[in-house]
Amino acid sequence: MTDADPTPAPFPPQLRERLPRLDPVALESFFDAYFDRVYGYVRRLVNDEQLAEDLTQDVFLHIQLAFSTYDPERELRPWVFTIATNRVRDHWRSHRHREGRKDVSVERDAALLGLSAGEHRPDSDLAENELSAILRDAVDELPEGMRMAVLLRVYEGLSFEAIGEVLGRSEVAVRKRYSRALEALRAALGPAWRVHTEGGS
């Protein structure tokens, strides 16, 4: 789920074939390959640790049940993230998630930044941190569909076609949605991004 690896390695096909048989080795490898990515995706969408744990557990339980109908010829990533996306959407349909979102967002920001009051940082680090904070907030403020498209594209490296499969949209619609999302992010970053790009080029 980290920065340096936007396109995680594909799950080995020979293990993929063993998943419908619920082969323990394949299941272990699957879990190790997908847990952080699914948890990170879900957590970023719901912005709450406890809720993310509940939903992640629900996703893996659903996956476990659905393996018997999984076609090993089919690519695993869109299949997994379709299930995760549907579980999160299920949750969003309930009213609970609207409550307290702001509080958990603040909590999450503090956790992500790892900053405490009065901590001294050099100016360049501070600017970079500010840009990161603005960017994180901007991603979190995107409409749900755009946010999903950005997370799946940037962190999972899914093709637009695969994202379309996950979100139930056409490839063209996803491309448009993704472009609009980047445009919105650039607008939100404003001069800070301009300074960042000019400074780096």
Shortest Å, Cβ 109 to another protein: 11
DSSP letter string, 39-65: HHHHHHHH--HHHHHHHHHHHHHHHHH
Closer residue to another protein (CB): 10 or 22: 22
Closer residue to another protein (CB): 86 or 159: 86
C-alpha–C-alpha distance, residues 10 and 136, integer Å: 27
Shortest Å, Cβ 78 to another protein: 13
Shortest Å, Cβ 100 to another protein: 18
DSSP letter string, 161-182: HHHHHHHT--HHHHHHHHHHHH
Closer residue to another protein (CB): 14 or 69: 69
Helix, strand, coil distribution of the chain in percent, nearest 5: 75, 0, 25
Closer residue to another protein (CB): 61 or 100: 61
Closer residue to another protein (CB): 4 or 117: 4
CA-nearest of 136, 98, 95 to 114 is 136
Terminal CA-to-CA distance of the chain, rounded, Å? 27
Shortest Å, Cβ 120 to another protein: 22
Shortest Å, Cβ 23 to another protein: 9
Residue ranges binding another protein (CB under 8 A): 1-4, 6, 22, 24, 27-28, 31-32, 35-37, 39-41, 43-44, 49, 52-53, 56-57, 60-62, 64-66, 68-69, 86, 89-90, 93, 108, 111-112, 131-132, 135-136, 139, 150-151, 153-155, 167-169, 179, 182-183, 185-187, 190, 193-194, 196-197, 200
Q: CB-hemisphere CA count at 13 Å for 116?
A: 0
CB 124: neighbour CB atoms within 10 A? 9
Shortest Å, Cβ 107 to another protein: 10
